[in-house]
Amino acid sequence: MAPLTLPGRSARRLGVGAPAALALMLASGFSGLGLQIVWTRQGALWLGHETAAVLAVVAAFFAGLALGASTLGAWLERGARPALGYALCEAVIGLWGLVLAAFGAQAGGWLAALAGPAPAPAWQWTVAFAATFVLLLPATAAMGATLPALQRALAGRPGGSVAALYAANTAGAVLGVLVLAFWLVPSLGLLRSAALCAALNLGCALLALPVLGAGSPPPQPRRDPQAAATLLPRLAATGLLGIGYEVVVVRVLGQVAEDTVYTFALLLAVYLVGSAAGAAWQARWPAGSVDGLLRALAAACLAGGASLWFAPELKAAVLASTGGGYAAALAAEAVLALAAFFAPTVLMGALFARLAEHGVAAGLGLGRLLGLNTLGAAAAPLAFGVGLLPAVGAKVAIVAIAAGYLALGSAASLRSRRSWAVGAAAGGMALVAPALVFVDLPPGGRLLQLHEGAMASVSVVEDASGSAWLKIDNRAPEGSSATRWADARQAWLPLLLHPDPRHVLFLGLGTGVTAASAAEDPRLSVDAVELVPEVAALSPRFTAGFATADRLHLVVADARRHVRASDRLYELVVADNVHPARSGSGSLLTVEHFAAVHARLAAGGLFCQWLPLHQMDLESLRSVVRAFREVWPGAVAVLATNSLDTPVVGLIGRAGGMRLTPEALRERLRGAPQAARWGLDDEFALLGSVIAGPRALARFAADAPLNTDDRPVVAYRAPRLTYAPDSRPRDRLLALLGALDVAADELPADPGALAPRLAAYRQARDLFLAAGRDVVPSADPRRMLAQVQAPLLAALRLSPDFRPAYEPLVAMAAALAARDRPAARSLLAELHMLQPAWPEAGRVLEELR
In this predicted model, what pLDDT tens digit does every residue of 674-730 receive, in sequence order?
A: 899 999 989 999 999 999 999 999 999 999 999 999 999 999 999 999 999 989 999
Segment 63-67 shows an average pLDDT of: 90
Domain 15-220 shares a fold with domain 230-436: yes
Looking at residue 293, its pLDDT comes to: 94
Contact predicate 555/118, CB 8 Å: yes
On whether the CB atoms of residues 128 and 56 are closer than 8 A, the answer is: yes
Residue environment code for 244-277, b if the CB has 16+ CB neighbours within 10 A, otherwise e: bbbbbbbbbbbbbbbbbbbbbbbbbbbbbbbbbb
Query: Which among 732, 757, 542, 763 has a CA at the least distance from the CA of 648?
Result: 732
C-alpha to C-alpha distance for 11 and 522, rounded to whole angstroms: 79
Report the number of secondary-structure helices (H) and strands (E) in the chain: 39, 12
Which uninterrupted H or E stretch holds 625? Answer: helix 618-631
How much is the pLDDT for 718? 93
Overall fold of domain 230-436 = Growth Hormone; Chain: A; (1.20.1250)
Averaged pLDDT score across all residues of the chain: 89
Average pLDDT over residues 51-66: 76
Q: Distance between CA atoms of 365 and 371, rounded to whole angstroms?
A: 10
What is d(CA 144, CA 159) in angstroms, rounded to the nearest whole number? 20
- Angstrom distance (rounded) from CA 607 to CA 599: 11
CATH class of 487-749: alpha beta
Are 100 and 107 a contacting pair, CB within 8 Å? yes
282, 163 contact by CB (below 8 A): yes
Structure letter (DSSP) for residue 438: -
In the chain, what are the domain boundaries? 15-220, 230-436, 487-749, 775-847
CA distance linking residue 279 with residue 350, whole number of Å: 5
Q: Is the pLDDT of residue 568 over 80?
A: yes
Query: Model confidence over 99-110: pLDDT tens digits?
Result: 988 887 777 777
What is the pTM (predicted TM-score) of this model? Answer: 0.90
pLDDT at 586: 87
CATH class for the domain made up of 15-220: mainly alpha
SS3 753: helix
Q: How many CB atoms lie within 10 A of CB 443?
A: 6
Distance CA 38, CA 34 (A): 6
Higher pLDDT, 124 or 405: 405
What number is the average pLDDT over the span 256-265? Answer: 90
